Amino acid sequence: MALDEDLRSLATGRNFAALTTLFTDGTPQTQVMWVDADDEHLLINTEVHRAKYRNVERDPRVTVTVWQADDPYRYIEARGEVTDIVRGAAARDHIDACAQRYLGRDYPAEQIVSERAILRIIPQRLHRNGI
Q: Which helix (H) or strand (E) holds 61?
A: strand 61-68
Residue 42's pLDDT is what?
98
Confidence at residue 56, expressed as pLDDT on a 0 to 100 scale:
98
**What pLDDT does 73 receive?**
97
Confidence band for 19, pLDDT divided at 50, 70 and 90: very high
At 111, the pLDDT band (50, 70, 90 cuts) reads: confident
Classify domain 5-129 by CATH number: 2.30.110.10
CA dist., res. 63 & res. 28, Å (int): 10
